Amino acid sequence: MLAPAALIAPVAVVAHVASPLAVVAHAVAPLASVSSTVSDWVAEHGDALITAALILLAAVVLNFIVRRAIRSAVDRLVKASEARRERAEGDDDAGGLPEDAVRRRHEEEVRRERTEQRTRTVGSLLRYVATIAIYTVAILMALAQLGVSVGPLLASAGIVGVALGFGAQSLVKDFISGTFMLLEDQFGVGDVVDLGEASGTVERVTLRVTTVRGVDGTVWYVPNGQIVRVGNKSQRWGRIVLDIEVAYDTDIDRASEVIKRVADEFWKERMPGATVIEEPELWGVENVGPNAVVLRLAVKTRPGEQWAAGRALRARLKAAFDEAGIAAPLPLQTTWAPGGAAAGAADAGGSPETGAPT
């Protein structure tokens, strides 16, 4: 007979091996239950799954079609706007000379770059909105087909949207303002603008911020939501207004003749970078002061060239005035003499009021 200890040892080994198997079986049992539940759910909702898959597939196809349609529509709108602008600028530039061809080509290249930027920005915004809307509706429809109640989801999304609206309202305002500025073509890259505290040349425009470089080199980053008004100084054409002072006793007709002659010569010359596109207008006497008469000259130029034209005209007018003998106004000074000086003048035989000899 075997000893009891010899019988106990094999039983202990079997128990040691069976213990991990029991643990594995215990762990697999819930997975098998879940797998069975999923299989039953799939078998029960097989038609709904196919419908949901078809809805998502239709959403993908519809998104592709809508994005292509938006891209085509935006391209047509921008091209029509550019065609109207080119016709208007063609009327302004009527009578141009052949030497303007190079500069016009450069302006056309800048305009094309600006058009491309607007098309890309506006098109990407509309495509993004369309994609979000299509996929959101498709996902909700698919969940409804699968038996998921979308009412609580919509309520939760509304609450989250309100919270985000309050928390990021300045950001939303920036994007909305940027969208309308691009759609209305208020300004673009290369334009000289006045945005209030910031003014200069526009270097970059996005839906959220506009980058402007001032004349002193300062770069301004202006959120679009903070732009209350825009002054564009380089759209279609520019104008320089010169207030020219002459001495009070100057012959106004003669001075006007000199000013008009110099301005007309400058207009016909069509200086590159300071091109005058219309006959200069001499508006006449703008102001009469105690020691000067102000004559106003208005000159219409290509967009962004009014400042260079103004500097060149001032230099030519100064040279023409020197040649014609038209004097610049001299400031008048009144000296009040103290009472003692007036008394001394009276003792010397002069007038006590003026000090002049009587």
Question: Could you tell me what percent of the chain has a pLDDT over 70?
Answer: 67
Which amino acid makes up residue 214? G
The answer to which of 9-13, 259-263, 282-286 has the lowest mean pLDDT is 9-13
Is 50 buried (19+), middle (13-18) or exposed (0-12) by CB count in 10 A?
A: exposed
Report whether pLDDT(9) > 90. Answer: no
Dihedral over alpha carbons 115, 119, 120, 123 (to 10 degrees): 170
Nearest C-alpha neighbor of 181 from the set 214, 217, 210, 146: 210
pLDDT at 74: 75
Per-residue pLDDT band at 358 (split at 50, 70, 90): very low
Report whether pLDDT(352) > 50. Answer: no
| Residue with the two structure tokens 């898959």 | 53
Per-residue pLDDT band at 351 (split at 50, 70, 90): very low
Which residue pairs from 220-227 have beta carbons closer than 8 angstroms and sit at least 24 positions apart in sequence?
220/195, 222/195, 222/198, 223/170, 223/174, 224/173, 224/174, 224/175, 224/177, 224/178, 224/181, 225/170, 225/173, 225/174, 225/176, 225/177, 226/174, 227/177, 227/181, 227/195, 227/196
Chain center to CA of 211: 8
283, 242 contact by CB (below 8 A): no
Structure tokens at 101: 């061809």
Q: How many CB atoms sit inside 10 A of residue 159's CB?
A: 10
Burial 74-108 (b: 16+ CB within 10 A, else e): beeebeeebeeeeeebeeeeeeeeeebeebeeebe
Q: What are phi and psi of 237, to 5 degrees?
A: -155, 165
Radius of gyration over alpha carbons of the chain, in Å?
Answer: 41
Question: Could you tell me what percent of the chain has a pLDDT over 90?
Answer: 13
* pLDDT tens-digit series, residues 190-236: 888 998 888 899 888 888 889 999 988 899 999 988 888 888 888 78
d(CA 6, CA 12): 11
The answer to which of 98-102, 164-168, 306-310 has the lowest mean pLDDT is 98-102
Please state whether the predicted TM-score (pTM) of the whole model is above 0.85. Answer: no
d(CA 173, CA 139): 28
d(CA 179, CA 74): 13
Pairing between strand 209-213 and 219-223? antiparallel
Nearest C-alpha neighbor of 225 from the set 181, 166, 192: 181
Per-residue pLDDT band at 152 (split at 50, 70, 90): confident
pLDDT at 290: 80
Polymer length of the chain = 358
